[in-house]
Chains A and B, each alone.
Chain A
Amino acid sequence: MSFPLLTATAALPAIGAIATAAVPAARRNAAKALALFFSLATLVLAIVILVRFDPDGDRYQLTESRSWIAEFGVRYELGVDGIAVALIALTALLIPFIILAGWHDADPLETGNKRWRPTQGFFALILAVEAMVIISFEATDVFLFYIFFEAMLIPMYFLIGGFGDRAHEHGEETAATQRSYAAVKFLLYNLAGGLIMLAAVIGLYVVAGNFSLTEIAEARANGSLDMATNTERWLFLGFFFAFAVKAPLWPLHTWLPNAMGESTTPVAVLITAVVDKVGTFAMLRFCLQLFPEASKWATPAILVLAVISIIYGALLAVGQRDIKRLVAYASISHFGFIIMGIFAMTSQGQSGATLYMVNHGISTAALMLVAGFLISRRGSRLIADYGGVQKVAPVLAGTFLIGGLATLSLPGLAPFVSEFLVLAGTFSRYPVIGIIATFGIVLAALYTLVLYQRTMTGPVKPEVAAMPDLRARELLVVAPLIVVLIFLGVYPKPVTDIVDPAVKQTLSDVHKKDPQPEVEAAK
């Protein structure tokens, strides 16, 4: 048996989490270094996966399969397709930056208590989330996926509720209250989704007799497993609901602004750039493959919700006064694009959606982390508290602008490619939806530029006059992300090459073909 690469990739951060948590209280910096080391080692393994993966080979590669709970047919089955590979790479890429950006975010305020080890906990939790996210991307057993999909909530809950921005405009007391509200809201929303999904998972077992994604999908495809129309629809809705909460789709989105607003910026990035991607990824992998007919049945409704998300999220972003909440609403708009691309059921739409997941992760990380650096300097999240930063901290302003331009999908930066693919893919089948969604690009320009204008331009406010520019560590976080954004904007082929075959197979699962152009080239 060959080396279990996928298990190792997920296990490494888990081991790292335990190791980091075990570091003694006084050796804070050792814990940080250890966490960074493990995240980088995971990145190396992710790159190995990327290299070993053959886009033209089998659908699921590097597979592992072991018996686990034999009584219920639950197996420990792992395997990756192109979509999963791309997202694992994204996760492994972002975590080191998240750790580096949060270097000082969890330093204990007073060092008197020898047994108090918040720093160790913070980084261990981040690594734990990474491990669970990676294994969710790898699992091809529905039950195995479900376990980690839910287990992720536990470290996330502590990350949101336990660590917050140092400075808060209403004092530490209010901050703690709001933080615990946000954490509980996050937990309840996702638990509710997970509970419904659990029912659907059990239902699936009753109907199919096992939990193997590959077996069920194959049986669905060749007709040996028939589901009654209503059964399929109910099961689909059960799965979809959980993923739509996680993604999040309007109107299940309200936990995201709270969670992103109250948590520290690295955790906010972790939520939106990494954890939420599991939701959209799972739609693509589980909803479409397991329930192709029901997916098609639900498509119109989901597309409408997605378009509402796009416009609604963007409009609300315009109306926000808080930088982090603004980015959160912008993300809701972007998740609308991703979900729209998935359910447009065209190769451009789904390739674009997958690419969008990757690009959105990187661009939001860039924008949000710079916003975090900004916030940590002034100690306020309110847009109105800033002004003229561009003059005192030009590099910070410049990177902030690039992050913002990526968010508004400026051509030349990575998000443009994915956004245009999603729009074109949607338009070719649902022109009206496509056109409405296109309004989103105007609104995106509005909220980004308004944010930039209010914070960075104009006369220098006295409170920001002494603001230092980006430090070396901060630049080390932002610069590589910007390089990746530009590279993938100019040359996205490496990603599309990996993703494309997987999308083709997913489309054939749902028995959909791309609409053909009305006017064909004369051959």
Chain B
Amino acid sequence: MNPVNYLYLAALLFTIGATGVLIRRNAIVVFMCIELMLNACNLAFVAFSRMHGNLDGQIIAFFTMVVAAAEVVVGLAIIVSLFRSRHSASVDDASLMKL
């Protein structure tokens, strides 16, 4: 199969993820969408690795997974503490960063 198709798939997944981040309010869903974007990137890396015939892309994909795992740990912790303090998982309730 033509590896380019994997890239199309990656782009599609990334777009879905990005759209989800922008329009959904539930923090869990936003979080999952971010994961989706990360994995779309991973897919693209692996596809590139295949296309170029070297291992660079696969190595970076592993890095990304590690980062994603770390991010899940931190992110979920934030979401849980947010839910505890506000009793809601909506990202719009946490708008303390405005000036």
A and B touch in the complex (CB under 8 A): no
